[in-house]
Each structure stands twice: as structure tokens, then as C-alpha cells.
Amino acid sequence: MEKQLFGTIETRPGKANAMMCFDEDRPDEIMLHWWGVADQPTVAVLGRRIVHRAEVSEYQAVKLLSHDERGHVIERPVDENTRRLMLSTRATLKTTRTGMVGTWLDADGPGGKISLRPLASRGGITDIRQCSSWDEFKRWASEARAEGGVAFRGHGSHLFRLETSLYRSGRTQLNRYCAETLPVFHSHVEAVTNRRINLGDSVDYSMLLGLAQHHGLPTPLLDWTGSPYIAAFFAFADALENRSSRASNTRVRVYALNRAFVERFSPPIVTVPFLEPYMSFLHVSPRDNPRLYAQQGRFLVSNVGNIEQFICNIERHENVRYLMAAEVPAAFASEALGDLAFMGVTAAALFPGLDGVCRMLRHAMAFQATSLPPPGKPNDGTEIVSS
């Protein structure tokens, strides 16, 4: 079962859009969000499974969440009648081949139907340039800039998609992440850095998320950079470092987001655990994060797991274009990393410190002695010595 489902729920005031989130480490817990009914607030209900048989589960509502005036998610005080209805709410859901269907009821009687499935897919990214060489990629980078590309991201395999590390770790409930995981990280960061970080300050909060992302803690962030060449470095470095475990990987991919996307999805104030599906482009302070500064880094934060499909669906629905990409044969890793090193784009530059220096030297050892085979030549075990 997918960790995140979308669809509709019939509420008494009308049919609402719905999103259901699961965390793999808490299989008996769901968070059901709904919104889009006139004059009704966006809410989310935390439910716990009380009955499970075959494909059918029954959930009991245990917590009601909504937004405060600043957009933060809170558990509001409720009157006795609302509390009575919430505690009596039950949802019976059946797992199907395409998602989940079911009904809900409370003390006032039958409520309505629930229908959920994975994020609708009408095809992925359509604007992908197939580059036959590293030089062609460099031409694409110039064209992408001319077409308004302002943010770039590199993947070591064309099979990977735009997904946050939090989603890949099996977690989708952002409210739980912000309430449980980040405060623990926050206390450790203050102890290690000997700095006071105010979680009530948006700059400090985003800076803390940036530190978490760059030091390996799963987050709802995706890294982007202002340079297509830094993005290409990450793509080719990942392909080179993992070539022995990815026999089927033939191409790397570099994504580009255009200026129209950044301008539309960069609100002045961002709160992370939104109850509706959202994404926001963040400029995070590089304070105490030299990697972010060196990498010209920015972040995209979202509570949607499959960000790539989410963007593509918006493009098709609104007939706009935000996302483009280029793919290059992974066999050009040696040439690309050598050229990038000549430009000054190395692991030592992007990861200040001895770790970056050692990673840079590992790359040099790899592409000077055991390069990937050139395009079109089978890998017969013969080592190719770069010129």
C-alpha cells in the first residue's frame, strides 16, 4: 500500500478533497485530511486502528487538528458536542487494488463515503532532453538558463524521482515529524553548536531544517542549487560512487525548475505541516551551514511524497510548464567530473572540510584509473585510462 493516498470524503456540509497519510513504523495509525467545502475549515483527524480483518480495517478518531491564524497546525479546544462526535467517529476502510474505499459514521448517524488512491498519474515529466554527450549537456544548461531555469537538481540515476528523504524513509505525517523528531534534533544542535536556536522564529526554524537535511536526517526538503553544473556534479558523483551496485543505471538526470515556479511557490511565510497538499520554495539561511553556502543551495519543502507527479499534474491541469530535465549517459562521469574539477566544482569545494577533500580524491582515483566505459562500448572488464 502507498504511504499517501488522495481522493474524496463525503462530509455533511458537502464532498471534500481528501489526503490520507501513513507512517510505516506506525501501521495502526492514519492521518486523514480534508478541505475544499465552502465555509468549512481545513481539518485533519488522527485515527487509530481498532479492528483489522483481511483487507478491512476500522479506525477510531482520537485527535482533531486545524490551522491557527498564522497557518500553524494546532489541536484546538472543542466544545462538548464536537468532542462527543469526534470520539464516536469511526471509519471502515477496505484496501483494494487501486487504493482504499469505505465509509464513516459518528453518534449522529451515517456520515458518508471515502474513496482514496495514489496520486493521479497522467504521465511524468515531458520535457526531457536526451543528451548524447557531456558537451551537449553544457549546451542544454545554457538553453535552460535562457528559458528561465533558476533551480537545478541532479540524480545519479534517471530511474529516481523527486521524492523527499522523509518520504523515502517511510514517513508522511509532517505534524508528527515536527512535533517529535525536530525538537529532539534541535536540542542536540544547540548542544553541539553552543548556539541558541529559536523554533518560534521562521529563519531559525528553516535553518534547523537545512542542517538536518545536510547532515543526513530525513526531512520534508528537496535540495536544489542555483547552478546546473553543481547539480551535474551531484548526479555524476553519485553515479560514479555507486556504479558497482547499479548495473541497470545507464543515464543520470538533471532537473531544472523555472522562474515562474519559484515566483509562484515562494510565499513570504512558510509553515511546514500544512493540512492541505502544498509545496514551497525556501531560501534558507546558510548560517552554521557552510555546505549550503558553497552549493548555492535552496530547498523545496512539501507534504506530498511524489513531488514530481504533483508538479506534472499541476502543469497539465493549468497548461503551464515548470519542470524540465536533461539526461546524459552515466559513462560520461569521468569526463564530466574532470571538466567540473577544472571549473572548480569538486567535492572539496562543495563539502568544506576533510571529508570533502577525501571524496574529491576518491573521485580522481576512480576516473583516472577505472573509468566507466565510453558510450556504446560494452563493459568487458577492461579498464579505461582517461587521457
Question: Residue 133 has which C-alpha cell?
Answer: 554527450
Q: Please tell me the least confidently modeled range out of 40-44, 236-240, 311-315, 356-360.
A: 356-360
Convert the pLDDT of each residue in 198-229 to its tens digit.
988 888 888 899 889 988 999 999 999 999 99
Question: Residue 103 has which C-alpha cell?
Answer: 465509509
Are 333 and 240 contacting, i.e. CB atoms less than 8 angstroms apart?
yes
End-to-end CA distance of the chain: 50
- Residue 274 has a pLDDT of 85
pLDDT bin (cut points 50, 70, 90) of residue 1 is low
- Residue 382 has a pLDDT of 42
Report the SS3 class of residue 130: strand
pLDDT bin (cut points 50, 70, 90) of residue 172 is very high
pTM for this entry: 0.85
Q: Taking the CB of residue 343, how many other CB atoms lie within 10 A of it?
A: 12
Convert the pLDDT of each residue in 38-81 to its tens digit.
989 899 999 999 999 989 999 999 999 988 877 778 887 888 98
Answer with the residue of higher pLDDT: 158 or 122.
158
Structural domains of the chain, ranges and CATH numbers in brackets: 4-117 (2.40.128), 128-171+219-369 (no CATH)
- Residue 284 has a pLDDT of 77
**Using CA atoms, how far apart are residues 351 and 354, in angstroms rounded to an integer?**
8
Q: Is residue 376 predicted with pLDDT exceeding 60?
A: no
Q: At how many degrees (to 10) do helices 333-343 and 134-146 cross?
A: 60
Q: Is residue 371 predicted with pLDDT exceeding 50?
A: no
Among 305, 299, 303, 307, CA closest to 214:
299
Q: Is residue 315 predicted with pLDDT exceeding 60?
A: yes
Convert the pLDDT of each residue in 262-293 to its tens digit.
999 988 777 787 899 999 988 777 777 787 88
